[in-house]
């Protein structure tokens, strides 16, 4: 009997949990703009709060109001988007006449990352970084969480050297193999990946226009020309050396 009662209690608890998460986090707080579950919010009645705080901290951006563009059977009009909701944390702060720290009016929104920086892999992002962090991350014994063990070392990177020495492939579809080392004297490397030079160039151009710390950095667009000039100069030196060797050989033969 006790086992049957225990099983029935577990079934009731599981059913309550399923009912609680059945709709998912669909409710948007009008103050902090977080997606929450139904049991974490309540209907926002603006007359219960201070008018100045409501104008400052509450927005109706995510409240759906049917218009001529909506269909006859608008699904949003029946959903939770047809009302103004507020979470309990913001409700308590506003009820006491305080501005919630989580409110959108504190400019806590995350900016959208541009496409020029989203397309970079880890090594490409390290190439354009002003400081490269080196840290040891290991799995913790419980919870399958990752943790940092030991000190975190920030190594400053000379981006100007990277832009001048990074090779430019002849074809846009070609990739370059790059190894990232802690020091050039070390044999081992930390990362080894393929780098798309076009992605790096686009990221540099974007950062030069939008970040003051990259304003003085210029890409070496004449990398191929300078490389060819160096090769030509070495060829000329080798040819002159060969000519001098041939002349000396002829003189030695005449003496003999």
pTM of this prediction?
0.55
Instruction: Give the pLDDT confidence of 167-197 residue by residue, as tens digits.
Output: 776 666 778 888 888 777 888 888 888 888 8
Q: How do residues 72-88 score in pLDDT, each as one tens digit?
A: 777 777 677 788 899 99
Average pLDDT over residues 208-225: 76
pLDDT at residue 223 is higher than 80: no
Among 120, 110, 122, 113, smallest CA distance to 203 is for: 120
Query: Is the alpha carbon torsion for 86, 88, 92, 95 positive or negative?
Result: positive
The three-state DSSP-derived secondary structure of 176-202 is: EEEEECCCCCCCCCCEEEEECHHHHHH
Q: How far is CA 10 from CA 2, 19, 22, 61, 93, in A?
A: 12, 14, 18, 41, 37
* Contact yes or no for 224/212 (Cβ under 8 A): no
What pLDDT is attached to residue 2?
47
Q: What is the pLDDT of residues 122-164, one digit of tens each?
A: 888 888 888 888 888 888 887 778 888 888 888 888 888 877 7
Tell me which residue of 173, 178, 185, 183 sits closest to 125, measured CA to CA: 178
Structure confidence at residue 221 (pLDDT)? 66
Q: Looking at residue 189, what is its pLDDT?
A: 85
């Amino acid at each position: 009997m006790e086992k049957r009662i225990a099983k029935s209690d577990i079934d009731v608890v599981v059913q309550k949990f399923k009912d609680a998460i059945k709709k998912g986090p669909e409710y948007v707080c009008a103050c902090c703009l977080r997606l929450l579950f139904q049991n974490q919010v309540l209907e926002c009645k603006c007359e219960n709060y201070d008018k100045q705080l409501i104008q400052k901290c509450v927005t109706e951006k995510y409240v759906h109001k049917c218009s001529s563009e909506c269909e006859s059977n608008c699904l949003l009009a029946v959903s939770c988007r047809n009302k103004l909701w507020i979470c309990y944390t913001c409700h308590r702060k506003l009820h006491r006449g305080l501005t919630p720290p989580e409110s959108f009016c504190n400019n806590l929104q995350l900016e959208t990352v541009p496409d020029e920086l989203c397309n970079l892999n880890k090594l490409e992002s390290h190439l354009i970084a002003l400081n490269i962090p080196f840290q040891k991350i290991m799995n913790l014994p419980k919870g399958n969480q990752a943790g940092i063990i030991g000190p975190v070392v920030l190594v400053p990177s000379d981006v100007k050297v990277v832009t001048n020495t990074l090779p430019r492939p002849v074809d846009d579809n070609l990739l370059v193999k790059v190894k990232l080392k802690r020091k050039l004297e070390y044999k081992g490397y930390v990362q080894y990946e393929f780098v798309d030079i076009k992605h790096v160039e686009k990221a540099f151009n974007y950062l030069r226009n939008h970040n003051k710390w990259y304003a003085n950095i210029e890409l070496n667009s004449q990398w191929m020309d300078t490389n060819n000039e160096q090769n030509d100069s070495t060829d000329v030196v080798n040819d002159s050396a060969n000519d001098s060797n041939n002349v000396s050989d002829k003189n030695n033969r005449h003496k003999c």
